[in-house]
Amino acid sequence: MANPPPRKCIFCGGVGNRSGEHLVANWVRHVIPRTTDYHEHRSIRLASNMSPTDLVKETVKFKQGNLGNQTYSRVCKRCNSGWMKRIQDDVIPTLTPLIKGEWHDMNVIDANRIALWTAVTATVIAMSQDTCGVTTQDRQYFFKNQGVPPKWTVWIGRISGVPEISYCNRVLAVRSQFQSPQIQTEPNTLVTTIEIGQVLLHCVSAPYEDLLPNPFSYGWNMGLLPIHPWGGDILPWQALPILSYFSREHRNVRDFLYAAMVLGHDISVL
Ligand SMILES: [Zn+2]
């Protein structure tokens, strides 16, 4: 089933009181004040004869409302004020300087906190859209383990020129070769990029290992540092390029992997 039952919390499955969960956490407004009353909405169109580098057929619309004010009501109060609040509280001291462009040494604890926050944020963003994109099993994993589920990869990067906050959410329903075509597949593959101030967070989840790129070579090619799995000091953050918002390099981060998956290109070379 593509969509979770509407009355149930997307994480614990409980039917208790709802709360309005901000898609991008409300504390971010203290670091990036909300000044605009509109946001950009971009979508891409793919054709089967395209190569991923042809991704230029993009539509840009401006929609009303600041992106930071958007909320989603399918998270219960217990989750929102319990384990999810702890994840927020843990990440604020680590993520705030990065949003401001003040990068410092990162250890495995910092990396884990940012990776978990990114994965939960990507989940709330994805589930707020009609296409969903995170499986019931993975959403329950967050609730039960407060950790990043298996087959999720998270990268971090540096960016300039972001209009406050921004995100891009791409979803696929990938069927296993053993699955009957008659059975509807739950959307299970997610490619999400979140830009806040001067930090970029990129996360990918897929049901099968062979749909995931190598986190280190892909990160190197895209100018990103893998933080989950954490590879230690393989690529120090000082070496990261500062991507320019909506430059070709930035658009590649958002679109390239998703396009390669849709078009059936070999992603093992990424
Ligand atoms: Zn809940």
Between the CA of 4 and the centroid of ligand 1 the distance, in Å, is: 13
pTM: 0.90
Q: What is the pLDDT of residues 19-42, one digit of tens each?
A: 888 888 999 999 999 888 888 777
Q: What is the pLDDT of residues 179-220, one digit of tens each?
A: 666 667 778 889 999 999 999 999 999 988 888 899 988 998
Between the CA of 79 and the centroid of ligand 1 the distance, in Å, is: 4
Long-range contacts of 133-137 (CB under 8 A, 24+ apart): 133/169, 133/171, 133/172, 133/187, 133/188, 133/189, 133/190, 134/187, 134/188, 134/190, 134/205, 135/186, 135/187, 135/188, 135/207, 136/4, 136/186
Q: What is the pLDDT of residue 1?
A: 47
Q: What is the pLDDT of residues 100-127, one digit of tens each?
A: 999 888 889 999 999 999 999 999 999 9
Between the CA of 47 and the centroid of ligand 1 the distance, in Å, is: 39
Which of 53-57, 137-141, 235-239 comes out lowest in average pLDDT?
A: 53-57
Q: What is the pLDDT of residue 171?
A: 87
Average pLDDT, the chain: 86
Q: What is the pLDDT of residue 54?
A: 60
Q: What is the pLDDT of residue 46?
A: 66
Between the CA of 81 and the centroid of ligand 1 the distance, in Å, is: 10
* Mean pLDDT value of segment 61-83: 88
Higher-confidence residue of 4 and 135: namely 135
